[in-house]
Amino acid sequence: MDIKAELSALSDEEYRKFHSRLLPGTEHILGVRVPELRKLAKRLVREEGLSCLERLTDDTYEELQLQGLVIGGLREDLETKLSRIGSFVRKIDNWAVCDVFCGALKFTQKHREEVLNFLRPYLTSEREFEARFGAVMLLSYFVDDRYIGETLRLLDQVKQPGYYARMAVAWAVSVCYVKFPALTEQYLKEGNTLEDDTYNKAIQKILESNRVGAEEKRRLRSWKRRPALEETVS
């Protein structure tokens, strides 16, 4: 298969322009939609297996996405899989590659304890997209009865100051609240060390959820923190 030719045939100029606006600073975007990339990755895994990774380059945004999707689709022993994931995470330089990659790692559902231990160093990483990777993996696979407490504790450990890391934490906390409101409320009111903007963004994202009622939203609005400067001025 000529991968570059396949991607060129699937590209859409209008979508390229639209998607480029969502990824400021990301270059070499061809404009291939994610569902098409998923289909192509499945073909590559089925027809070529591991060997296709040797031909996928970092030349375009889409080839990087394909690498992540192929890694997610390969059947390998757990140690090899985690090693390959670690190598790929170091390449992530935007939120979209990060989030699509996390969504492709569905093998996590069968190896959650091992994957959770693998994720711990990423949550305290000083690199923005490593920290985001850890947070998005938590919200994708570890918000349930068994792991909710540990997930909230681990999210609180993310101190990477980059925008995309902080917004991933806010997103993850909002997912925790929607699924486990009582436990997450306790965390938000008593047990968190989130920066004010991350905390307020989490509240905002909870307010945007259709699964939170109007009365509850009125109560949540009062939880927002006032900036320190505003408190000083007042």
Domain containing 199 — which CATH number? 1.25.40
Q: What is the rounded average pLDDT of the residues 167-187?
A: 96
Residue-wise pLDDT tens digits, 8-67? 999 999 999 999 999 999 999 999 999 999 999 999 999 999 999 999 999 999 999 999
**Could you tell me if residue 74 is inside a domain?**
no
Question: Does some domain include residue 54?
Answer: no
Note the pLDDT of residue 225: 85
Dihedral (C-alpha) 24, 28, 34, 39: value to the nearest 10 degrees?
-170
| Residue at 100 is within a domain | no
Q: Into how many domains does the chain fold?
A: 1
The predicted pLDDT at position 186 comes to 94
pLDDT tens by residue, 217-229: 998 898 888 865 4
pLDDT tens digits along 58-105: 999 999 999 999 999 999 999 999 999 999 999 999 999 999 999 999
Give the structural domain span for 171: 109-234
Q: What percent of the chain has pLDDT over 70?
A: 97
pLDDT, position 233:
43
At a CB cut-off of 8 Å and minimum separation 6, what does 164 contact?
94, 95, 98, 128, 129, 132
Q: What is the pTM of this model?
A: 0.93
Report the pLDDT value the prediction gives residue 228, as an integer from 0 to 100.
56
| 118 within 8 A of 82, measured Cβ to Cβ | yes
Flag whether 63 is in a domain: no
The helix (run of H) or strand (run of E) holding residue 47 is: helix 34-47
Residue 102 domain-assigned (yes or no)? no
Q: Provide the angle, in degrees to the nearest 10, between the axes of the packed helices 61-73 and 78-89.
A: 160
Q: Residue 125 domain-assigned?
A: yes
Q: What is the pLDDT of residues 114-151, one digit of tens each?
A: 999 999 999 999 999 999 999 999 999 999 999 999 99
Residue 86 domain-assigned?
Answer: no
Flag whether 224 is in a domain. Answer: yes
Helix (H) or strand (E) holding 118: helix 112-123
| Residue 231 in this model has a pLDDT that exceeds 60 | no
